[in-house]
């Protein structure tokens, strides 16, 4: 069982899924070269020492306020308790060459995706070339007709992209999902590193770990590059749905790190197609919004009329070219599950290159041949709703009963066009602290790719880990944790 | 800076200052309740404190009698009391959280840690075991947050609105602390001998860190007139009304940047009166009448500040029933799709 998954740390491992005591961890396998220094360091630490550091990490995350509200009881009645996302002190490590290949692939993919979005809202060459059927685009809920013919600065739509990467099989990388709307998690990447350096400074003295702390600087540069051409010294703001949003910490953190205002919809107003914020010294023009609010909530005059999070008239000012939105409106058309299978074709079509990063093989159930295969192999596949998010309307074949599969089969046969199917991936594992000691747990990776004057990223990303034994779900809402992600400079 | 940000900073500072002064007031009354005296007299102290804080209504809705235990609980840990220490510390922290990007991480972390530790201490039973330790802790946490402000923040509008909140709240609270004694006499039918006068005034002085100041300034026995003189007019001492209003006047000048506004005028007038006032004249018209008028003017000033700087938001602010608590904006929750 333990050998069924690619282990990030060991070539060959006897590490059990239930965990071994930290003291016994030393002899469980043959470490990969890039983990040797870390393992030597770890085996020199006392168990007690590590326990103290783990408690210190939790305390520090609370003090800094990197928490989210959970339901349950607290010490005082009437107070909603808050909890931290579990942080694992064993880092996930990339050797330099592995990262370089990944980075090339990410750059290529995000370039193609931006070209695609521009094309869709302008000439639609890719439809005319017969690569993607027109109905797949125009019939998609994520397609925004409001964006047809609208020019955005530098033709860039997804200024900030979070590309979810997994490793499976013998260690090959796959793109699981592109996140081009309001991807979150970058603050954890930065805070995890800060925490590791604070807890274990000696580790960084003996390993050449590429820094990530300049991300806010790159982000600010990216946002400045997105400003309307007329704005000479652009005023940039971060827009949040408010302090009760689960990613509020990140919104505040990024605004603070970049030294720009953190605004809510109620702080902004549009006058004569220009956007202003209400300040103690009167209205002030705003040129660029790094918005962390979904399209649907941006402007009650254009999208959801009941939204109080947005700004009436914002889309008018945007279409007039007087304010830039990052990410642009309508990027959802490129990260929808029904569009995902076409991304490798986009790379070939727009860039004339072969894709560096693999897609997970995907069957589109609207195609009769694909549907027939999927119906024959339901027990081994994962079937997903194309417009679904958050794990709803989904079948995980190997984890489902015969009755559940039969039930899903009926739904699938009735509306095959709403579904795609993929093989159940054997995600790679990385040793992680659990109750019983150290055990292998499944992980993924979300690097953040910035597109401004060029495509840039910091070496690393957010590594999420499924803390429950056997679980493949890394979401924080379902018992997921995070790890620091190291790219070695060698 | 954003008007909403200024509003949060203003209230963050007000709630921090109010938590401190509530702790100071509770401490003074608690010390008094330990003196050998009639239960009736101790109750009188608690009753006066609640009345002066405009909290008698909420208190009596849920409690019978005036037991020290009950009043301390109500004023320290009861979340249904918007002015309890725990409510103030929570409100200060939530306001700080709403604008954590506009101050600095040290200020946010000090207020967040205060809130986290406060919950832990209350759950550990500190109010039952050693209430004075808790009161003192609250006071020192307030010192700490003020120290972080003065020691680390840039002197910009954010800083000025924060300080404005501190001094408006302090002026209000100090006036109320001084007025407690009047309330006690009001609530008592028999106004003859008051053998605990000395202890009362010592407790009042102690609650505003004024005992040692008093001795140094007057080098004489304690009299109510002098205590009032010190708390109202002594400009060189930062907890007096005169000093607080002088700060308010100066801070309003900073944020208006020389513009002439109604808030500027009100602050200048009040400050000049305190600067030139004499305690004899004030007491002639009655201390209570003076303090009632003073509180009304401070509230008016705070309202002006809100209207001129903090709420130029398009929608009309909801009608405020009580001028000294913050109006809450309703947050809409958004279900995000892919994140």
Kindly report, residue by residue over B200-247, the tens digit of the pLDDT: 888 889 889 999 999 999 988 888 889 999 999 999 999 999 999 999
Q: CA A433 to CA A98: how far, in whole Å?
A: 25
pLDDT, mean of residues B143-170? 95
- State how far the Cα of A53 lies from the Cα of A59, in Å rounded to an integer: 10
| B261 CA: distance to closest CA in chain A (Å) | 13
Among residues B92, B304, B303, B288, the alpha carbon closest in space to that of B176 is found at B288
Q: Which two tokens stand for residue B106?
A: 């040290």
CA angle, residues B59, B64, B67, in degrees to nearest 5: 85
Query: Of B169, B113, B149, B165, whose CA–CA distance to B295 is shortest?
Result: B169
pLDDT at B332: 43
Within 8 A of B329 by CB-CB distance, chain A residues are 266
Angle between the N-to-C axes of helices B105-123 and B131-152, in degrees from 0 to 180, rounded to the nearest 10: 170
Of the pLDDT bands very low, low, confident and very high (cuts 50, 70, 90), residue B42 is confident
Q: Chain B: nearest CA to A153, how far in angstroms?
A: 24
Are A183 and B4 within 8 A, CB to CB? no
Cβ of B310 and A335 within 8 Å? no
Nearest neighbour of B97 by CB, restricted to A65, A241, A263: A65
Q: What is the pLDDT of residue A3?
A: 46
pLDDT at position A472: 79
CB-based contact, A179 to chain B, within 8 Å: yes
Can you read off the two tokens belonging to residue A444? 């993924």
* Helix or strand (DSSP H, E) at B152: helix B131-152
Helix axis angle, B85-98 to B68-76, nearest 10°: 0
pLDDT at B324: 62
End-to-end CA distance of chain B: 29
How many contacts (CB atoms, under 8 Å) link A and B? Answer: 127
Note whether A478 contacts B: Cβ–Cβ < 8 A: no
Residue with more model confidence, B182 or A93: A93
CA distances from B330 to A148, B11, B335 (A): 35, 17, 16
How close A76 gets to chain B, by Cα (Å)?
A: 7
Predicted structure pTM score: 0.86
Q: Which residue of A has its CA nearest to B331?
A: A242
Q: Which string of b and e fits A105-137 if b means at least 16 CB within 10 Å?
A: bbbbbbbbbbbbbbbbbeeeebbeeeebeeebb
What DSSP assignment string belongs to A359-377?
A: EPP-EETTSHHHHHHHHHT
Give B251's contacts in chain A (Cβ within 8 Å).
none
B288-338 pLDDT per residue, tens: 899 999 999 999 999 998 888 887 544 333 333 334 667 654 344 444 455
Would the CB atoms of A335 and B4 count as touching at under 8 Å? no
On the 0-12 / 13-18 / 19+ scale of CB atoms within 10 A, B42 is buried
**Positions in chain A whose pLDDT score sits under 70:** 1-3, 69-78, 388-392, 477
Q: Would you state the structure tokens that stand for residue A442, as one six-digit string?
A: 């499944």
Which residue in the set B255, B332, B333 is minimally distant from A280, CB to CB? B255
A163 min Cα distance to partner chain B (Å): 11
For B116, which of A62, A256, A264 is closest by C-beta distance?
A: A62
Residue B157: partners with Cβ closer than 8 Å, 6 or more residues away:
A280, A281, B1, B6, B254, B255
Distance, CA of A80 to CA of A279 (rounded, Å): 32
Q: Which 3-state string (H, E, C) describes B44-100?
A: HHHHHHHHHCCCHHHHHHHCCCCCHHHHHHHHHCCCCCCCCHHHHHHHHHHHHHHCC
d(CA B103, CA B96): 8
Residues B332, A294: C-beta atoms closer than 8 Å: no
CA distance B339 to chain A (A): 5
Of A75, A262, A389, the CB nearest to B337: A389
Of A80, A85, A67, A82, which is closest to residue A252 (Cα–Cα)? A67
pLDDT for the residue numbered A8: 95
B-contacting residues in A 363-402 (Cβ below 8 Å):
389-390
- Nearest residue of A to residue B329, measured between CA atoms: A266
Number of helices (H) and strands (E), helices first, in chain B?
Answer: 16, 0
Enumerate the residues of chain B whose CB falls inside 8 A of the CB of residue A77: 79
Give the Cα separation of A136 and A364 in Å (integer).
Answer: 11
* pLDDT at res. B314: 40
Q: Are A336 and A386 in contact (CB under 8 A)?
A: yes
**Under DSSP, is residue A449 helix (H, G, I), strand (E, B) or coil?**
strand
Angle at A342 between CA A338 and CA A344, to 5 degrees: 145
Residue A25: phi and psi, rounded to 5, are -65, -30
Q: Map tokens 């282990």 to a residue.
A: A7
Query: Which 3 state secondary structure label does DSSP give A483?
Result: strand
Name the band, by pLDDT with cuts 50, 70 and 90, for residue B119: very high
State CA B100 to chain mean position distance: 23
**Per-residue buried b or exposed e for A178-208, using 16+ beta carbons within 10 Å of the residue's own CB:** bbbbbbbbbbbbbbbbebbeebbeebeeebe
* pLDDT for res A435: 87
Q: Is the dihedral of CA A68, A69, A70, A74 positive or negative?
A: positive
The strand pairing partners of A381, in sequence order, are A423
Residue to mutate among A164, A280, A284, A391, with most B CBs inside 10 A, is A280
More confident residue, B253 or B307: B253
Contact A183 B339 (CB under 8 A): yes
B4: nearest CB among A177, A241, A267: A267
Residues in chain B: 339
**Spatial distance between the Cα atoms of A251 and A243, rounded to a whole number of angstroms:** 9
Question: Residue A389: its pLDDT value, please?
Answer: 58
Q: Does A267 touch chain B (CB under 8 A)?
A: yes
């Amino acid at each position: 069982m333990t050998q069924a998954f690619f282990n990030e740390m060991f070539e060959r491992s006897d590490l059990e899924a239930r965990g071994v005591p930290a003291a016994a961890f030393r002899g469980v396998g043959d470490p990969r070269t890039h983990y040797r220094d870390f393992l030597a360091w770890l085996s020199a630490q006392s168990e007690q020492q590590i326990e103290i550091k783990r408690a210190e990490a939790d305390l520090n995350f609370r003090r800094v306020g990197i928490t989210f509200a959970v339901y349950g009881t607290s010490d005082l009645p009437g107070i909603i308790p808050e909890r931290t996302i579990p942080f694992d002190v064993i880092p996930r490590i990339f050797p330099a060459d592995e990262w370089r290949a990944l980075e090339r692939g990410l750059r290529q993919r995000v370039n193609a995706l931006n070209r695609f979005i521009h094309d869709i809202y302008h000439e639609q060459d890719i439809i005319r070339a017969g690569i993607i059927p027109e109905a797949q685009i125009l019939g998609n809920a994520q397609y925004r007709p409001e964006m047809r013919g609208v020019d955005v600065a530098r033709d860039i739509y997804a200024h900030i992209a979070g590309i979810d990467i997994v490793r499976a099989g013998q260690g090959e990388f796959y793109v699981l999902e592109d996140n081009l709307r309001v991807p979150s998690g970058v603050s954890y990447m930065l805070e995890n590193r800060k925490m590791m350096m604070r807890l274990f400074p000696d580790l960084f003295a003996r390993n050449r770990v590429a820094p990530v702390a300049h991300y806010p600087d790159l982000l600010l540069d990216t946002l400045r590059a997105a400003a309307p051409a007329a704005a000479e010294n652009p005023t940039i703001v971060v827009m949040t749905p408010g302090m009760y949003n689960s990613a509020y910490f990140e919104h505040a953190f990024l605004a603070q790190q970049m030294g720009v205002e953190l605004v809510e919809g109620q702080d902004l107003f549009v006058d004569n197609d220009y956007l202003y914020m209400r300040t103690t010294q009167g209205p002030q023009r705003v040129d660029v919004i790094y918005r962390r609010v979904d399209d649907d909530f941006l402007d009650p005059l254009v999208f959801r009329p009941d939204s109080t999070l947005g700004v009436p008239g914002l889309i008018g000012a945007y279409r007039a070219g007087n304010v830039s939105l990052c990410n642009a409106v309508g990027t959802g058309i490129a990260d929808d599950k029904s569009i995902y299978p076409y991304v490798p074709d986009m790379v070939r079509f727009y860039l004339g290159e072969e894709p560096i990063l693999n897609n997970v093989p995907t069957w589109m159930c609207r195609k009769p041949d694909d549907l027939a295969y999927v119906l024959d192999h339901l027990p081994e596949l994962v079937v997903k709703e194309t417009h679904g998010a958050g794990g709803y309307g989904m079948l995980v074949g190997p984890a489902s009963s015969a009755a559940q599969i039969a039930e899903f089969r009926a739904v699938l046969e009735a509306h095959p066009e709403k579904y795609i199917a993929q093989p159940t991936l054997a995600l790679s594992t990385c040793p992680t602290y659990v109750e019983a000691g150290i055990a292998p747990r499944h992980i993924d990776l979300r690097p953040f790719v910035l597109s401004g004057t060029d495509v840039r990223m910091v070496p690393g990303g957010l590594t999420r880990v499924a803390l429950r034994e056997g679980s493949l779900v890394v979401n924080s809402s379902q018992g997921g944790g995070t790890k620091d992600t190291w790219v070695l400079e060698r | 800076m954003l008007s909403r940000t200024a509003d949060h900073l203003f209230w963050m500072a007000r709630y921090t200052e109010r938590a401190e002064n509530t702790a100071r007031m509770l401490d003074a009354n608690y010390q008094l309740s330990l003196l050998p005296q009639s239960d009736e007299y101790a109750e009188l102290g608690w009753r006066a404190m609640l009345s002066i804080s405009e909290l008698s209504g909420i208190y009596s809705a849920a409690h019978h009698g005036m037991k020290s235990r009950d009043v301390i609980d109500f004023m320290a840990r009861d979340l249904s009391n918007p002015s309890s220490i725990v409510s103030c510390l929570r409100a200060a922290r939530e306001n700080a959280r709403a604008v954590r990007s506009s101050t600095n991480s040290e200020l946010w972390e000090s207020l967040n840690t205060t809130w986290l530790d406060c919950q832990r201490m209350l759950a550990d039973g500190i109010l039952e075991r050693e209430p004075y330790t808790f009161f003192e802790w609250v006071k020192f946490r307030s010192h700490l947050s003020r120290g972080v402000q003065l020691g680390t923040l840039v002197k910009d509008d954010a800083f000025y609105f924060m300080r404005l909140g501190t001094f408006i709240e302090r002026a209000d609270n100090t006036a109320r602390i001084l007025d407690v004694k009047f309330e006690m006499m009001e609530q008592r039918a028999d106004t003859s001998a008051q053998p605990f006068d000395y202890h009362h005034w010592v407790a009042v002085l102690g609650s505003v860190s004024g005992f040692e100041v008093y001795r140094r300034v007057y080098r004489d026995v304690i009299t109510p007139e002098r205590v009032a003189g010190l708390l109202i007019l002594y400009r060189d001492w930062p907890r007096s009304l005169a000093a607080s209003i002088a700060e308010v006047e100066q801070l309003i000048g900073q944020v208006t940047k020389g513009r002439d506004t109604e808030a500027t005028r009100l602050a200048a007038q009040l400050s000049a009166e305190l600067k030139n006032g004499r305690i004899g004249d004030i007491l002639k018209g009655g201390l209570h009448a003076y303090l009632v008028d003073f509180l009304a003017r401070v509230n008016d000033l705070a309202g002006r500040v809100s209207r001129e700087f903090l709420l130029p938001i398009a929608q009309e602010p909801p009608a405020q029933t009580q001028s000294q608590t913050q109006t809450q904006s309703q947050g809409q929750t958004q279900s995000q799709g892919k994140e």
